[in-house]
Structure 1
Amino acid sequence: MIKSFVQKEYLFTIIFWFVFAIVLWCNFQTTTEVYLAMVQAVIVTACSFLFTHFLTNKLLPKALREKRMKRFLLHATLVIILLSLLFSIIFTYVELAPKNRLPENLHDQLPFLWQGFYMSLPASFLINGVSCGIKFYKEHGRIERDHILLQQAHLENQLKLLQDQINPHVVFNILNHIHILMKTNTELADFLLMKFSDILRYQLYHCNQNLVSLDKEIDYLKNLIEVEKLRWGNELNVNSTMEFQSKTAYIAPLLLVPFIENAFKYVCRLPGQTGYVKIICKEEHHTLFLYVENSYSDIPLQKKKDGTGGIGLQNVKKRLKLQYPDAHDLTIETDHLIYKVTLTLKLSEEHE
């Protein structure tokens, strides 16, 4: 691909300067002999190519990289003046000298040189201006492409870091549950271990992808909820509803986990009462609706403020901004002794 692009660049340059030389020759032969017109066209084309090549391929890219366009304008002005002087010499000694006898004294030749100089200024400015414009357009496009690639790489690194921060936290919670149950109920511990293997399999083989199918993510969430139900037992009422219609909907992996984890982590059970967690997750027409509600008090809220909790929510907010900048609506609110999270998310319709 790069080789093909370079070949096209060389072909365009050759065609441009060839056409330029033909146009000059056609213009010169109207006022001079064919041979002299050809000599002038070749010399003018060669000089123009050398000056503009130096200006557009050496000075302009360097100025763009270093962001010193004022210095480049000064250099461009000097190149235009030098090229005009060269055109003046060609005009005086290649075109006028064979037709008219020039004064032998250089001082007396200056009016002819000066005339050739100011007549050549517009042509020199036009040649260098067009060349710089074409090169600037190409360089600007290349810089924009590089900038987009850097932004994409930075985005991918950010998402990978955020996912890596989530995964160990999930694994730690499940292993801790199994460790406790192995001392009291080995059958239940064995059941949870099987659930954990499903969870770990999902994390190992699917979470490295940018998007996963919604049904796999929902199965993962069901396993997590089942683990929490068994851990809390009769001390907590858990009500979950998971519904989805589309088989082609995709979602960023582990995006919804922090909301569910946060509900179980900071659920509050007041004395004489049973705490509760309510989870509703529905998908319709590639739009996901998630509602998580749990009982709470100021104590778990204070823990989050102290920095001992809330990392998962901070991460998921960042991920939503990065991956769904204009396709999500997140609301987190408290109402008396209730903590509520509502998320509406526009899902991808195919795996990218």
Structure 2
Amino acid sequence: MKKQHLNVVIQLMIWLALFILQIILLPSWGKFPTIFDDISFYRTIIPEDILIFCIFYLNYLVLVPNLLGKRRKGLYILASILIFGLFLFFPVFLDFFFGIKYHGRFGNPKIMNLWLGFVGLMILGISLGMRSVQEWLRAEQRNREMEYRRTLTELRSLKTQINPHFLFNTLNTIYALSLKNSENTSTAILRLSTMMRYVLSDAKNDFVPLEKEVEYIEQYIELQKLRSTDKLELDVCIKGDYTSAQIAPLILIPFIENAFKYGVSNHETSPISLYLFVEEDRLLFEMHNKKFKSEPVRVSGEGIGIANTTRRLQLLYPKRHKLKIEEKDNSYNVRLEIKLKGEQYPLEPTLGNE
């Protein structure tokens, strides 16, 4: 509403400025008396300005939206012809109804009438152009808002898939420990409860402190180490100032899950390296692991992690991230760069006023 009021005020100021300029400049053309010589001159100028003002907004507010906007082109053309005629015979109208002799800008009255008709068509064209541009801008705004809502809906849908996916993978770990009657099962359950607290509380937000996300990653790695054998060669390097940055929750963990899921063997050396570096607003994440042929326990929801994350990156960090995944027969490498600072999607879009 504030934008609408401002638009009205601006238009009124423009009309007032044009009227004042007309009063000041027209007498200086030498065709008319000065403002101090003949006040009767303005008896024709003021009605003409009123006519221009009324026709402009008649076309802008009524004819264009109700005739052209509803595909009634024939009626609009007829209305335009009538308006052209009104301007064409405006001097006759003033003389017949009010006894006012029109001050012609040209010596020939016929040329004066044609000029006024041209002014009428010009007013129709200007108001039509302004209305068309305004409607186009409104349509563009509505399209952006619809696209924005679709994006938010898709993001929420993707986030609803995160928690089950996380739970399935973690329960797989605890299940593997229980099969071995491992004494680490109780410790794993305790770590799971800590991680679930983060997933159900902090991770429900669109963005979280990077520091908390790093803590979650460290908890997840410790949980995976409980089920791993001495064949695992884990190299984790997390450095940089990540205490003040924010990141989309659980955006990195699917790559780490993938490394432990397919990169750990009970019989062969299993090197996994994780590198996370934060400098100012730039995050660099790298994950490298060997790939073994495994037969994991099949669970519902398997396989959605990487695709989910790739799509979330596209929506949350458009043109602000670079993701390179290199998969070979015996290795899997991920390199991800994110520019952390920039426009972020709020929980709800702010709708513009029409």
With structure 1 as the length reference, what TM-score do the two structures score? Answer: 0.75
Match of 1:343, SS state, is strand
Distance across 2 between alignment mates of 1:143 and 1:349: 26
Equivalent residue number for residue 104 of structure 1: none
1:57 is aligned, of 54, 61, 68, to: 61
* Corresponding residue for residue 351 of structure 2: none
Contact 1:286 1:349 in 2 (8 A): no
The CA deviation string for residues 183-226 of structure 1, in whole angstroms up to 9 with x for no partner, is 76585333223322221222222223332222111111111111
Partner of residue 327, structure 1 = 320
Partner in structure 1 of residue 350 of structure 2: none
1:123 to partner: Cα distance:
0.7
Q: How does 1:114-125 map to 2 (within 5 A)?
A: 118-125=114-121
Residue identity matched to 1:91: P
Listed as ranges, the gaps of 5+ residues in structure 2 are: 102-107, 347-354
- Cα distance in 2 for residues equivalent to 1:65 and 1:344: 48
Structure 1 residue 59 displacement after superposition: 4.5
| CA 1:116–1:83: 2 relative to 1, 3 Å | farther
Q: Which amino acid aligns with 1:51?
A: I
Of residues 220, 243, 251, the one that matches 1:247 is 243
Q: 1:162 aligns to what?
A: 158
Matches within 5 A, 1:61-76: 61=65
What is the DSSP-based 3-state SS (H/G/I as helix, E as strand, rest coil) of the residue aligned with 2:244?
coil
| Structure 1 stretch displaced more, 309-318 or 233-242 | 233-242
Change (3 A) 1:25 1:140: same
Q: Distance in 2 between matches of 1:188 and 1:64?
A: 75
TM-score of the two chains, using structure 2 as the length reference: 0.75
Tell me what 1:10 maps to: 8
Where in structure 2 are the equivalents of 1:133-148 lying within 5 Å? 133-148=129-144
Match of 1:86 in 2: 86
| SS of structure 2 residue aligned to 1:207 | helix
Structure 1 residues 61 and 292, CA gap change in structure 2 (3 angstroms): farther
Root mean square deviation of aligned Cα: 4.0
Code of the residue aligned with 1:262 in structure 2: it is: N
Query: Using a 3 Å threshold, how does the CA distance of structure 1 residues 273 and 184 change in structure 2: closer, same or farther?
Result: closer
The one-letter code sitting in structure 2 at the alignment partner of 1:167 is N
Hey, what's the Cα distance between the residues in 1 that align with 2:109 and 2:125?
23
* CA displacement 1:263-312 (0-9 Å, x = unmatched): 12223638x42434322222234322222222224678xx9xxx985421
Map of 1:221 onto structure 2: 217
Q: Equivalent residue of 1:348, what SS?
A: coil
Shift of 1:169: 0.5
Distance in 2 (alpha carbons) for counterparts of 1:138 and 1:335: 54
- Aligned partners of 1:189 and 1:37: how far apart in 2? 96
* Equivalent runs, 1:98-109 vs 2, <5 Å: 98=99
Q: How many residues align?
A: 328
Counterpart in the other structure of 1:289: 284
Cα distance change on mapping 1:285 and 1:122 into 2, 3 Å? same
Shift of 1:160: 1.8
Letter in 2 for 1:87: F
Q: 1:199 to 1:345 in 2, by over 3 A?
A: same
Q: What fraction of aligned residue pairs are identical, expressed as a percent? A: 27
Name stretches of at least 5 consecutive residues in structure 1 with no aligned partner: 101-111
AA aligned opposite 2:55: F
Counterpart Cα distance in 2 of 1:96 and 1:37? 18
C-alpha distance in structure 2 between counterparts of 1:186 and 1:63, whole Å: 79
| Residues in 2 aligned to 1:333 and 1:11: alpha-carbon distance in whole angstroms | 59
SS of structure 1 residue aligned to 2:318: coil
Amino acid at match of 2:81: I
- Do the aligned residues in 2 keep the contact of 1:286 with 1:346 (CA within 8 Å)? yes
Is 2:308 aligned against 1:312? no
Counterpart of 2:204 in 1: which secondary structure?
Answer: coil
1:341 to 334, 340, 343: 334
Q: Does the CA-based 8 Å contact 2:232-2:264 persist in structure 1?
A: no
More helix by share: 1
Distance 1:183 1:309 in 2: 21
Alignment partners' CA distance in 2, 1:86 and 1:273 = 94
Aligned residues of 2:284 and 2:336 also touching (Cα < 8 A): yes
The one-letter amino acid of 2:86's match is: L
